[in-house]
C-alpha cells in the first residue's frame, strides 16, 4: 500500500511509514498492515528483529489520521471510531509484548498514535530532532495507545504534567521520562539500520549510543511534583494558580487550551493505574473506556472541529470553568461491560 512499506531485508522485518507530507499520520489500514506483518513475523525464523522507521525529516508519526473519525462521528456513527481504537490498542499491546526485539527510530515529532507504535518496542532511538508528546487533551481525548502505562511509571508526577499539558519532550526528557532508550545522532541512523539488517543483533545500539542532552524535566521535577500532586484536576489547578514558578505559568497556559473533562479523566486514570498490578493491558482497557465514549459523551468532536475542521481554535468545551464534577469523570471511566476491550487474536 502507498502509505507504508513492509518488507524483509536481511535478518530484519522492516516497516517504514511513507506519508511524510501528512507527517506519517496513521490510518486504520496502516495499523492493520503493521498488525498483520508482526503476527506473520512472530513465528518466522528468518526474522530476528523488527525495525520501525519513517520517511521525511519532520515526523516519525504525528498521530492518528482523525479525518475519518470526525466524518463518521459527526453523523452519529460511533462504531468506526470504536473499531479503530479497539484494533489500534490491540496492535499497541502486540508491540509491547512482542517476543522479538522491536527497534524504532523516532525522528521529528512522535505524538499520539505515533507513541503507540514507536514507544512500546524494546529499543527506542531518538536523535537531534526528536520531539515526543501526548497532546490528546487538546482535542478532547486522553493520552491513549498505551501511553498511560508510561505516564504512570514516569518519575514523580511527570505523568500528570505530561498528560494534561501535552508538553513536548526533547531527547533527554524522553529518555528520563521512560519514552525512549538511546540517543544516537541522526547521521548514524542509516548505517546503523544496515548493520541491524545484516546482523539481526541489537547489541550494537548500546555501543553507538551517545550522551543525551540534559533533561529539562529532570531539572524541573521538584516543582512539577509539588504542583501536580493533587488528587483531582481541581487540586492541581489550584496549586498551579498559587505557584510563582515559571513552569506553573507555562503549564496553566497549556492547560487552558485543553478539554477539562479530558484532563480530569487523565489525572484519575493515572491514579488508578499506579498499583503493583499495573500492566499494559490494564492501561489500554482503561483508556478504551474513555475513547469508546469520547464522541458521544466527551469533547472529541468539538476538539477536532476547532483544531482541524474550522480551525478557529476556540473549542466550546464541557465544564469550561474547569470545575469537572467527580461523577462526570466516573461516567467516562466506568466499565463497558460486554463492550470492554479484549485481546483475543482473530
Handedness of CA 50, 130, 149, 78 (dihedral sign): negative
Q: Cα 106 from chain centroid?
A: 13
What's the CA gap between 305 and 139, in Å, rounded?
9
To the query of whether residue 88 is one of the catalytic residues in this protein, the response is no
Closest CA relative to residue 303, chosen from 250, 260, 249, 252: 260
To the query of whether residue 223 is one of the catalytic residues in this protein, the response is no
To the query of whether residue 144 is one of the catalytic residues in this protein, the response is yes
To the query of whether residue 64 is one of the catalytic residues in this protein, the response is yes
Closest CA relative to residue 181, chosen from 111, 113, 130: 130
The SS3 call for residue 18 is coil
CB 48 within 8 A of CB 83: no
Instruction: Give me the helix-helix angle, 246-255 and 158-165, nearest 10°.
Output: 40
Cell 517504514 identifies what position?
16
In b/e form, how buried is each residue of 47-58, taking b as 16+ CB within 10 angstroms? bbbbbbbbebee
Residue 4, C-beta contacts closer than 8 angstroms, at least 6 positions apart: 15, 16, 17, 18, 19, 30, 33, 34
CB 240 within 8 A of CB 232: no
Q: Which of 13, 113, 178, 303 is catalytic?
A: 113
Q: Which of 35, 144, 160, 285 is catalytic?
A: 144
CB 192 within 8 A of CB 144: no
CB 60 within 8 A of CB 126: no
Residue 207, C-beta contacts closer than 8 angstroms, at least 6 positions apart: none
Q: Which of 136, 173, 268, 285 is catalytic?
A: 136
Q: Which of 13, 63, 64, 116 is catalytic?
A: 64
First to last CA, the chain: 22
| Residue 141 DSSP label | -
Report, as residue numbers or ranges, the catalytic residues.
Answer: 64, 113, 136, 144
Amino acid at each position: 500500500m502507498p502509505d507504508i512499506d513492509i518488507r524483509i531485508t536481511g535478518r530484519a522485518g522492516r516497516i517504514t511509514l511513507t506519508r511524510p507530507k501528512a507527517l506519517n499520520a496513521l490510518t486504520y489500514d496502516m495499523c492493520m498492515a503493521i498488525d498483520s506483518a508482526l503476527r506473520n513475523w512472530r513465528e518466522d525464523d528468518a526474522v530476528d528483529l523488527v525495525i520501525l522507521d519513517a520517511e521525511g525529516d519532520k515526523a516519525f508519526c504525528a498521530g492518528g489520521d482523525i479525518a475519518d473519525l470526525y466524518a463518521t462521528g459527526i453523523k452519529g456513527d460511533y462504531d468506526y471510531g470504536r473499531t479503530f481504537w479497539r484494533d489500534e490498542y490491540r496492535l499497541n499491546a502486540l508491540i509491547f509484548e512482542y517476543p522479538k526485539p522491536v527497534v524504532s527510530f523516532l525522528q521529528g515529532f512522535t505524538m499520539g498514535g505515533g507513541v503507540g507504535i514507536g514507544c512500546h518496542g524494546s529499543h527506542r532511538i531518538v536523535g537531534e530532532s526528536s520531539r515526543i508528546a501526548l497532546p490528546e487533551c487538546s482535542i478532547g481525548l486522553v493520552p491513549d495507545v498505551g501511553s498511560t502505562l508510561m505516564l504512570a511509571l514516569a518519575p514523580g508526577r511527570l505523568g500528570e504534567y505530561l498528560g494534561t499539558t501535552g508538553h513536548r519532550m526533547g531527547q533527554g526528557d524522553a529518555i528520563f521520562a521512560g519514552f525512549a532508550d538511546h540517543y544516537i545522532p541522526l547521521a548514524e541512523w542509516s548505517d546503523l539500520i544496515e548493520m541491524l539488517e545484516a546482523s539481526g543483533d541489537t547489541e550494537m545500539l548500546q555501543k553507538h549510543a551517545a550522551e543525551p542532552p540534559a533533561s529539562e524535566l529532570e531539572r524541573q521535577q521538584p516543582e512539577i511534583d509539588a504542583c501536580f500532586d493533587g488528587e483531582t484536576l481541581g487540586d492541581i489547578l489550584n496549586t498551579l494558580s498559587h505557584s510563582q514558578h515559571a513552569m506553573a505559568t507555562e503549564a496553566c497556559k497549556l492547560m487552558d487550551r485543553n478539554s477539562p473533562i479530558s484532563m480530569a479523566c487523565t489525572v484519575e486514570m493515572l491514579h488508578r493505574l499506579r498499583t503493583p498490578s499495573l500492566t499494559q493491558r490494564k492501561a489500554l482497557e482503561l483508556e478504551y473506556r474513555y475513547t469508546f465514549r469520547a464522541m458521544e459523551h466527551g469533547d472529541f468532536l468539538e476538539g477536532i472541529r476547532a483544531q482541524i475542521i474550522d480551525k478557529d481554535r476556540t473549542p466550546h468545551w464541557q465544564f469550561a470553568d474547569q470545575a469537572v464534577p467527580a461523577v462526570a469523570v466516573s461516567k467516562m471511566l466506568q466499565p463497558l461491560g460486554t463492550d470492554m476491550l479484549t485481546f483475543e487474536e482473530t
